[in-house]
Chains A and B, each alone.
Chain A
Amino acid sequence: MADLAIAAPASNHTSRRGSAFWLVVPGIVFLLAFFLLPTLQMMSISFVERATGDFGVSAYVKLFGSKVYSRVLGTTFMIAFQVTVLCLLLGYPLAYWLSQQPARRQRIALMFILLPFWTSPLVLNFSWLVLLGRNGVVALVMSNLGLPGGDDLLFSRTTVLFAMIHTMLPLTVVTMLPVMNTVDKRLTMAAMTLGASAPQAFWQIYLPLCMRGVATAGLLVFISALGFFITPALVGGRQETMISQLIITQIQQLQNWQLGSALAVVLIAAALLTIFLYDRIFGLSTMSGGQTAGSAEGKLRLFGIALTKRVGGFFSRVGEVYGRTIRGLPARKLLSAYCTLVIAILLFPIIAFIPMAFTEGSFLSFPPKGLGIRWFEAYAASPLWVSATLRSFAIGIVAAALTLVIASFAAFALAKSSSRLAGFAFLLFMAPMVVPPIVIAISLFYLFAQLQLIATDISIVIGHTVIAMPIVFVILLATFKGHDWRLDQVASTLGANRFQVVRRVTLPLVRSGVVVGFVTGFLQSFQELTVAIFLGGGLKTTLPKQMWDDITLQVNPTLAAAAVVVLLIVIIMFVIIECMQPRRT
């Protein structure tokens, strides 16, 4: 995400400027039709009185007036805030450690970190439900160690925070990492030769330089956390109810669109406010990696510099004392140990599914009772599970293909054009990332209900395409911006026609980016739950939706078998990406 800049297009084809720009049009039309307008329409319902059909704000009066609702709002913001701060604190050292690794090891480590992320939050949280349960492995270990409270781990604020952080830590790390990777290592070296101690070089030089990445990660995590419902629904108690759960209740069970949409407006408003603050401090274009030098006299900048100086000086003294007294433990080893531990914890719940799925018993338990493939047989024999898996797979392929085509056109256009509309197009393509999926889901639900398209595969495909668009677009934009277009010009001067240029030069060079984009789009769709809950009805369920229903209705090890299938598919996708990595470096 960091290598992009809308402010300064990489290529300056003055003669061709704008000629490729029309390629962005399909994407703009798609996002206007299935994202922006439906969202605005859905938002407008909150201002229409249910009984009379007149304009009114009674929904908002109810929201902020009633204790029940305002408490949920407060809880949601508090949880989102806590999750964000903790994710940044826990994720920063991990991202830093990754940025110090050689490229290949970094990629492998990143795959381990992303494995739980793409295996879907549903599976993760469900795993915690089993592992942290009254008879779970954690309770067992705690009672063996003589620690109290092992039988009461679930349904508390701490558990919700832990599970949400666990779910979002990979997102935090992958957002911060690209910026850290671009920080020139020689700068900290230079600081050292100029007299800075290691802590001073870190706080005064390194940290400010990767602050953009930290802020972007914070923004994304906060907004995702605001719209979260899986974790509080599964491992949280009544006290941890969040806005999205209320939206689901209001719309799915009570058909109260006015209140449901008002809740969605609150979510959007909060997201927009966060983005506004982010823009004021860091400049929105930094999200795409544009350099905003800002004013040298900016109060915030001077404050930041003064602050890092203080902190740097403080830790420098701490370091001196540390160096004099307990020099035994090298910081580097501590960091490696910490990161290994975090990655292990990230992987634990999905790895734990494997033995659970192979249990012979009738209940999900860890450690499993006996080994066998009974539940895989049950899974394979169940038409419900098999059809859900196949549908998810098909929807994933179609949605990924659609996303890839639209995003490629747009990314190509934006990479080669410096039109003033490019900024607008960029924001539109990124917008679905900062609108909670639940809002997108209910907006599309409302739209497709009018079009009689509810419970069709096409509606789910469209929903998934909207949700996958930003990330796939960013990957392709980076790919096209990183591509040296002069090579294409060279090819044509060497006698290649337009088609040959694309086939022999452009495609081979951008291939890995395109494959990563496709796989990402597929995984996004394959693990997506929210849209499937609203748009897939009856028999038209996807795999995550089937799992969700299973968890809420009855829990049996078939679910674990399905989770293992998901894990396997994600791993296959990762292997595909790794195989596509260009060998040249």
Chain B
Amino acid sequence: MHMPGNIVATSSATGKSGAEIKLHAQGLSKSYGTSVALHPIELKIRSGELLTLLGPSGSGKTTLLQLICGLVEPTNGRLVIDGKDHTETTANKRDIGVVFQNYALFPHLTVQENVAFPLQMRKLDAALIRTKVQNALAMVGLVEFEKRFPLELSGGQQQRVALARCLVYEPSIILMDESLSALDRKLRETMQIEIKRIHRETKSTIVFVTHDQEEALALSDRICLMNAGRIEQLGTPEEIYERPASTFAAEFIGITNLLRGHVEGMTLVTAEGVLPLPPSCRASNGERGALIIRPEQMSLVAAGNCFLSGCVTESIYAGSETRVLIALRSGAVFTVRRQAGQQLLQLGSEVGLNWEPRQSQYLKS
């Protein structure tokens, strides 16, 4: 959980050579008076990637986004875009598009005028503006709505207009601030696919802010997990899910079963008993840490010959699988996934939990 203040995200951002760096935040930080919204961070975003800033509210992700688009001035650090220092560039002179949380469509302008706005600001020729607006509206499937006002559209349509308004001037970086959070689940999933498609077609660099880990996993090339104004972990969705760098990362992404304790030999002594550590891990005697086992890596066995045992407290049916909640002796509740078609478990019945130690993970706390 604990990381040094000045995080250098090395895992793969700098590691992979060849990929061009589109945007580089060098020690960028922001404080309001004495409260620190963002500690100095180091972040390199590759050209053409879809990077998600993921984190709970107050983690600094929106501050970082505002720093990138120039709506907020950094307290310290530099912002380099395409190798050029843009720290001092005002928002309107940066080649960045932003899709705001509640879309921020201009209510007094029609759909067509909204989409034309950025082109007019760039003093494009009227005829060119017309064709570009048409193309952008066609891309989001809203051509027939061009004469409507934003308030006459549904949430999903407004979202598309906001997207079109951003795509129309082909900014090389697109920032999306919780852009899908106001939509219902179905629509959100449709829009996620749409954004992936547009991302592929336009080859633009997209920075997507969300607090929804599922959305982050579904959309991203890479996820930048943030917590309390710092970068917690940076990596591909698989990396973060399978090899969380901290208990925060493990708990924030996916369902995690976690037990804390201290190391003795190759075991962790916890309130639930002595558990084996994964063979590959390096831990020294006496240090405190946590063992993490994902629900799909656990199997339910008869009570007795097993690592842990507990009572079935809840069984949640979710179609393709059933999630079983098991209360352990210490009071901790673990989640186990069961494939559909398996025998139902009686609530209150005693069960045992087993897993392959090499599939579990140990994190020093």
Binding site for B on A (CB under 8 A): 184, 186-187, 189-198, 200, 204-205, 208-209, 291, 293, 296-297, 305, 309
Contact = CB atoms under 8 A, between A and B. Distances in A.
B96 interface: yes
B147 interface: yes
A251 to B, nearest CB: 46
Given A193-B98, A194-B121, A195-B169, A296 B149 contact: yes
Contacts of B149: 293, 296
Interface in B97-122: 97-98, 100-102, 104, 106-110, 113, 117-118, 120-122
A193 B91 contact: yes
B120 A309 contact: yes
B90 A192 contact: yes
30 contacts: A184-B102, A186-B100, A186-B101, A186-B104, A187-B106, A187-B107, A190-B98, A190-B104, A192-B71, A192-B91, A193-B69, A193-B71, A193-B91, A193-B92, A193-B97, A193-B98, A194-B97, A194-B165, A194-B169, A195-B121, A195-B122, A196-B92, A196-B121, A197-B90, A204-B117, A209-B107, A291-B151, A296-B148, A305-B109, A309-B120
Contacts of B92: 192-198
Contacts of B90: 192, 197
B229 interface: no
Most chain A CB within 10 A, of B70, B104, B110, B122, is at B104
Contact of A205 (B106, B118, B147, B152): B106
Interface string B59-83: 0000000000111000000000000
A293 B108 CA distance: 7
Nearest to A212: B108
B314 to A, nearest CB: 28
Contacts of A293: 149, 151-152
Given A190-B98, A193-B70, A195-B92, A184 B151 contact: no
Contacts, number: 72
Contacts of B106: 187, 190-191, 205, 209
Contacts of B147: 296-297
Contacts of B98: 190, 193
A195 B169 CA distance: 10
Given A184-B104, A293-B152, A195 B71 contact: no
B231 to A, nearest CB: 24
A296 B98 CA distance: 26
A197 B109 CA distance: 18
A206 to B, nearest CB: 10
Given A194-B118, A196-B92, A189 B151 contact: no
B107 A189 contact: no
Given A187-B104, A193-B69, 12 more contacts: A187-B106, A189-B104, A190-B106, A193-B70, A193-B96, A193-B97, A194-B97, A194-B118, A194-B169, A195-B93, A296-B149, A309-B120
A184 B69 CA distance: 18
A428 B88 CA distance: 56
Nearest to A197: B92
Contacts of A209: 106-108
Contacts of A291: 107, 151
Contacts of A197: 90, 92
Contacts of A196: 92, 117, 121
B121 to A, nearest CB: 4
Most chain A CB within 10 A, of B93, B100, B113, B152, is at B100
Contacts of A184: 102, 104
Contacts of B169: 194-195
B117 A194 contact: yes
Which 8 residue pairs are nearest across A and B when measured between Cβ atoms?
A195-B121, A190-B104, A194-B118, A192-B91, A193-B98, A293-B149, A186-B104, A296-B147
Contact of B108 (A192, A195, A208, A297): A208
Contacts of B101: 186
Nearest to B117: A194
B186 to A, nearest CB: 25
Contacts of B102: 184, 186
B167 to A, nearest CB: 12
B118 to A, nearest CB: 4
Contacts of B69: 193
A330 to B, nearest CB: 14
Nearest to A200: B121
A377 B149 CA distance: 65
Nearest to A301: B108
B117 A191 contact: yes
Contacts of B152: 293
B128 to A, nearest CB: 15
A252 B106 CA distance: 54
Most chain B CB within 10 A, of A186, A195, A197, A297, is at A195
Nearest to A194: B118
Nearest to B101: A186
A184 B104 CA distance: 8
B48 to A, nearest CB: 21
Contacts of B109: 305
Contact of A195 (B100, B104, B118, B151): B118
A196 B100 CA distance: 16
B95 to A, nearest CB: 9
Interface in B249-307: none
Most chain A CB within 10 A, of B121, B122, B169, is at B121
A19 to B, nearest CB: 30
Nearest to A297: B147
Contacts of A190: 98, 100, 104, 106
Most chain B CB within 10 A, of A191, A198, A305, is at A191
Most chain A CB within 10 A, of B102, B120, B152, is at B120
Nearest to B122: A195
A211 to B, nearest CB: 8
Interface in B30-80: 69-71
Contacts of B151: 291, 293
Contacts of B108: 208-209
Most chain A CB within 10 A, of B71, B92, B98, B147, is at B92
A293 B152 CA distance: 9
A192 B104 CA distance: 12
Nearest to A304: B108
Nearest to B97: A193
A195 B118 CA distance: 6
A201 to B, nearest CB: 8
A254 B33 CA distance: 69
A198 B90 CA distance: 10
Contacts of A189: 71, 91, 100, 104
A291 B147 CA distance: 17
B145 to A, nearest CB: 11
A127 to B, nearest CB: 42
Most chain B CB within 10 A, of A194, A291, A297, is at A194
A296 B90 CA distance: 32
B72 to A, nearest CB: 10
A195 B121 CA distance: 6
A194 B162 CA distance: 11
Interface string B127-155: 00000000000000000000111011000
A437 B355 CA distance: 85
Contacts of A187: 104, 106-107
Nearest to B165: A194
Nearest to A184: B104
Contacts of B93: 195
Nearest to B152: A293
A193 B169 CA distance: 11
A293 B148 CA distance: 9
Interface in B151-175: 151-152, 165, 169
B113 A305 contact: yes
Nearest to B96: A193
A192 B97 CA distance: 10
Nearest to B93: A195
A321 to B, nearest CB: 16
Contacts of A186: 100-102, 104
